[in-house]
Structure 1
Amino acid sequence: MNDLVWLEIKKENLISNIKTLKNLAGSKVLISPCVKANAYGHGLIETAKIFISAGADWLSVNSIEEAKKIRDVGINRPILVIGYVAESELEKILDWDLKIFISNFDYAEKLSMTGKIKNKIAKVHLKIDTGMHRYGVLMAEAEELAKKIKKLPHITIEGLATHFATSDEPLNLSYFNRQLENFKEIVPKIKNLVGNDLIIHCDKSASLLLCRHGLADLVRPGIAAYGYYPSQDVAKLAQEKNIILRPALSFKTKIGQIKKIPENSCVGYGCTCYTKRPTVLATIPVGYYDGYDRKLSNQGYVLVNGQKAPILGRVCMNITIIDITDCGQVIEGDEVVLIGEQGQENITVEQIANWAKTINYEVITRLRESLPRYYI
């Protein structure tokens, strides 16, 4: 392999995760895994294909741009755009047969007019703000909005959705339950106005893994589809129920230069590290440009020859320095594992997140989109 930095994605693990989530959702519930943010760093197009092969009914994306990439390779599965779509992009919603969230009348009216011009019917999902206060129409305004949209030509309300703020905090479900009750209250009211055949959806990864409520016709798993639990508490409770997810991603690079330096030598920018013994250093050609967080400076380790090689000094834009003194015989070009397994050791995304004081979502979605990805 000639690449200096690359990712390996285990297809069988992605397939396993989708099948696990489909089993949890039930045979009558559609599954629409979220492939936004370059499929959580795993590569949009190939991951979308793998998910479909595993049984995904729909795909959820954040943007028109992501939807276009999927349509351009001939994928015809239903696509739900869950992020903001500018009014200037409304024609593309109809041209590419996309479904979108909607939460205000002016926008719906413009979409209706676009549908009239193109002689097409736009399918929209009414997004209800049940308490997260991000996107969505407020509960008190939802019925009136549904009434007004129903009267518009060339637009149909296909679905009804909300998003939970705290479903990944299963030890304190009071706010989640409040949102769920709000949604249960509004669903029959909207159905009474626009029809009973609405597609109801509210579950993301955490609520799908843990909270059975029988309300959903469709689920939108995100990080769980890639083998990660939304939080440590969710992981603990899910694993107690034998709900096992399988991380699919490994992040790798190679040994660059090797050198021996004496005790009390400065390492890297700012001399934030001084060696405490005679040390064998190696540079590896990976840095924060690639998504390897600068907060890992002087934190954690990588794997070389199946041994832990501590990070010394600051993570640079394209270079990181590691201590390979205790890693045995190492030569330039040897494989280095940043995330994943080598020998008996394993570095998890959660470990990286802990060292960098962030969350597993950020670790994987920040991986540089142009990095080579190999699906094995």
Structure 2
Amino acid sequence: MATTNEQIGALARKIQSTRDSIDTEEGTKNAFIMPFISNVLGYDVFDPTEVVPEYTADVATKRGEKVDYAIFHDDNLQLLIECKPIGSTLDLRHAGQLFRYFSVTSARIAILTNGQQYQVFTDSELPNRMDEKPFLVFDLLDLDRSLLPEIQKLSKDSFDLDSVINAAQELKYVGGIRRMIADEVKDPSDDWVRYFVTRIYEGKATQKVIDQFRPLVAKALTQYLGGQVNERLKVALGDDATAESDSPQAKQPTAPPSAQAEEPAHAPDSDVVTTEEELEGYNIVRAIAVSDIPPERIAYRDGKAYFAVLLDDNNRKPIIRLHLNGQSVKYVSTFEKGKETPTRHDIESVIDIYRVSKQIRQTIRSYE
């Protein structure tokens, strides 16, 4: 039986390949949301004792109103699901049914989804009143693997309402803080920059000074996080990652036999020198990919024009190209499904590769 991670991976690949052809709520339900209920959560969508579509309850303010799905567990209504079309923004203003149904049914969990993104709510603040902020937020195309156990708690086989409710408060705040940190790393706010400026700058933190420090704060945060990930990668891989970083002539990873047969490795050009910066970039890509595949599947081939990072040492499966040897300009090229040419991203240092983490993971998943 496939694991939750494997089921989500299969559904994510389906979303990637078909989302552009679906533009209605019904299409989203059939293509993405029903498979999530069935394959990920494990409920029988064709059993009316488990899953009831277009569920109606007596709501005093609006009679005859329906919520898209009601899920029963042990004959008790436990989950309400409100659906929106794929690609639409999830906004609580469009989830009035969830608020109203939450107060008149026994359900303690409500889910708002567009088939790709999910927001999960409960009543952690006031009994029988749905919180305005979700305690669990995830995107199937960019899933934080640490959330898998929380998603699994909602499944039929592992459903534990008390465990979900008890963890909801902490998850809501921890998740909110993590999203704030991610936003600040990507585009530091004035308050965030001012926090650092007032501690390291002797002058007055004027708006001009804050604007000058903003890219420096973003760069420092990115470098720090990159260093943390690299350290974890070295621990996970043992001495291999360290050896590769220390040697410009580091040996390329051995590809699986099938990949070697399909696309044999070429002998490296004698004029090509693999730099430590390129090897650092290679290890960063492995650190990004480790959440989806074993790092030993990531290989590289160095050439005069660029440093190529490949899946399974297969030229037909490029992940990213590193152009790091220019004296004044450095950039990387990522590969997007449906585009014939790679997309260029200018960078200041090799640490900036973390800024294209999403593109790297999506490329790997497209090959899988």
TM over 0.5: no
Q: Which has the higher contact order (CA 8 A, sep 6+)?
A: 1
Higher helix share: 2
Scaled by the length of structure 2, the TM-score of the pair is: 0.30
